[in-house]
Amino acid sequence: MLTLNKNPVFKVRKKMTQDELQQGWKEFHSLAKDFHATNKNTHGFKRALAGEFDARGELYALIDPNDFKKYQDVTLHFLGSKLEEVAQCKIQGKTKHLVHSMGYWNCIGS
């Protein structure tokens, strides 16, 4: 049964400082660059990762699920695009999320 919760109270998200955003971008950029370098010739990613790495293009990265909101804020701030979870996987016993960002160029329509 579905119940309607009138006037729900949402937890206020902490706004990241400029330094936190920049540090988060460096981390996400590094994760995306590593993913591109290791998977650009993998069958499922040949088309998506074709060509040179472009930080403003479509980005894929393997991230810790606990960092999703942080990287979501970072990609919204720097690229204007949200993160989408593509898949979950276990690597050396740790759960990771494969995420995708449409990138700056797709957000501005070029």
Which pLDDT tens digit goes with each residue over 59-105? 888 999 999 999 999 988 888 888 889 888 888 888 999 898 887 76
Mean pLDDT of the chain: 80
Predicted pLDDT at 79: 85
Number of domains present in the structure of the chain: 1
Average confidence (pLDDT) over 23-32: 90
Dihedral pair phi/psi, residue 67, rounded to 5°: -95, 5
Residue 41: pLDDT band with limits 50, 70, 90: low
Query: Does some domain include residue 48?
Result: no
Residue 110: pLDDT band with limits 50, 70, 90: low
Domain that holds residue 73: 18-43+56-107
Query: Does some domain include residue 84?
Result: yes
Q: How does 69-84 read in b/e, with b if 16+ C-beta sit within 10 Å?
A: ebbbbbbeebbebebe
Of residues 106 and 93, more confidence is placed in 93
